[in-house]
Structure 1
Amino acid sequence: MADLQVFARVEKKYMMDKAQYRALRERLEGRVLPERFGRHTICNIYFDTADWRLIRASLERPVYKEKLRLRSYGVPGEEDTVFAELKKKFKGVVYKRRSNLTLHEAEDWLYRGVPGVEQDQVMREIDWFRGLYEPLQPRVMIAYDRIAFLGAEDDGLRLTFDENIRFRQNRLSLRLGADGERIIPEDRVLMEIKVPGAMPLWLCRALSDLDIYPNRFSKYGTCYQLFILPELKEKGGLKSA
């Protein structure tokens, strides 16, 4: 039986170098607490149409956009838990709805169209979404190494730092490893700040002092623009890309 989880929050992204990262970590001392998982690897399979319709629409920066991905924490086995996520963004607020099920169940459902478990509300929403863009298929694996923190006094505040962001377009199963080609330089760190409302003033001041500013960076979008789109242009596939 799948389990349902729903999140709604404002998310802002910041790209920084390692010097800024170290300085910010010092400023965060006493303000945030590390999550219990410590440093861990996150793996994602992104689904899209044959002509990359979802990511192309997303890069046009519409008021409303959505994506479908299958996520794991670490490299899973067939019976390990993974998360089918429908992520929507409307006027700067991110709504993430997800169901957890085993990798075997998820791939039967999303890859082969064989629902093997009783569907919850999120799974039904995902099926409706898939019907809009049929046929959706696994297109890209994106992985990264993450460390996350929660506000010491405000548990609604969450900060994540992602390094070694990488991708591949083959072996599109989460069980086949977390290796891939780098999307960003080795000396860069991507931070995401996730809050239900306004950002704490102390954090705003720390970012300003360190010249760390918001960035529209998208892992999947950057992967498409830097690697996939040039290959499509070279092959003459721009009519559908």
Structure 2
Amino acid sequence: MSELSEPTENAFGSSPPPSALESPSLFSPGATEEAATAYEVKFLLTEAEAAEVAARVHGRLALDPYADPAMGNAYLTTSVYTDTPNFDVFYRTDGYDRDKFRVRRYGAVGPVFVERKTKNGDKVRKHRARINPDDVSELVASELNGEWAGEWFHSQLLQLQLKPVCRIAYERVAYLGTADGGTVRLTFDRNVRGVLLSEWKLEPVGAVAPLLDRVVCEFKFRNTMPALFKGIVADLKLTPTPVSKYRTFVRATGLAPVRSENG
């Protein structure tokens, strides 16, 4: 499954079409930690650098089938991020230092997913489930009936005392395909912006000042970085830059009390 539904037709030569591929960091809930290995390497790029990277994958990777030509082949991504009242996720308190729980919508009225993202250095794995957009409000319930696709997510919210903190949106241009025999994904995120939030609402974020003045670029792959990406990094002299949209928002807004962060 790709990240949206109802893909449009998009030829991809002799390789599988993007709609037939999954993002490398998506794993089934039964996958072991050792087997569920993927990497996301991030870069902060100028527009000129982003254009050069895109040119280097032209003909090698295909635009995500949900690319909207009216948006410059981008699509809107909106996420609600969660944390505890003490901002344990932000501060990487023990027990909160690897997982982020969020609800994500693709497009202004597109599909909605509940998602857990687990990160250890550059290693990433994600587990998510698609839910009915009308069911987002169910996340405030103290208990559920055990038959809902988002039950596991809801249980983690209760156990970890997680609540909505902010809603962050951006426009994403994504490429997907295969390289060195494995699935790879390349994304460019622009106009990253956010607003404070205390309710489970997924409305698009309006015209507020962007949090970053660069393009957030991610190389996503399994096991080892493919030659395609290695060549881009070497030729363009790119430097990996850890960047978290959620943490950037919290710092920019002064939302969390001032104290040292772990890690």
Q: TM-score range by the shorter chain?
A: 0.7 to 0.9
Shift of 1:103: 1.8
Within 5 Å, which residues of 2 pair with 1:75-114?
Answer: 75-76=108-109, 81-108=111-138, 110-113=139-142
**What TM-score comes out, normalization by structure 2 length?**
0.73
User: Is 1:65 matched up with 2:98?
Assistant: yes
Shift of 1:18: 0.7
Match of 2:59, as an amino acid? G
Q: Where in structure 2 are there 5+ consecutive unaligned residues? A: 1-25, 29-35, 68-73
Matched pairs, number: 219
Within 5 Å, which residues of 2 pair with 1:55-204?
Answer: 55-57=90-92, 65-76=98-109, 81-108=111-138, 110-113=139-142, 115=144, 118-120=147-149, 123-124=151-152, 126-134=153-161, 136-151=162-177, 153=179, 154=181, 156-170=183-197, 172-179=199-206, 180-185=208-213, 188-204=214-230
Partner secondary structure for residue 198 of structure 1: coil
CA RMSD, Structure 1 to Structure 2 (Å): 2.8
**What TM-score comes out, normalization by structure 1 length?**
0.80
Distance in 1 between residues matched to 2:145 and 2:77, nearest whole Å: 25
The higher-RCO structure (CA 8 Å, 6+ apart) is 1
1:154-204 CA-partner distances (Å, limit 9, x unpaired): 55111111000000004754443222431101xx11111111111112321
Q: Percent identity?
A: 25
Question: What is the match of residue 207 of structure 1?
Answer: 233
Match of 1:129, as an amino acid? Q
Shift of 1:88: 1.0
1:221 to 247, 251, 257: 247
User: Is 1:6 matched up with 2:14?
Assistant: no
Q: Where in structure 1 are there 5+ consecutive unaligned residues? A: none
More strand by share: 1
More helix by share: 1
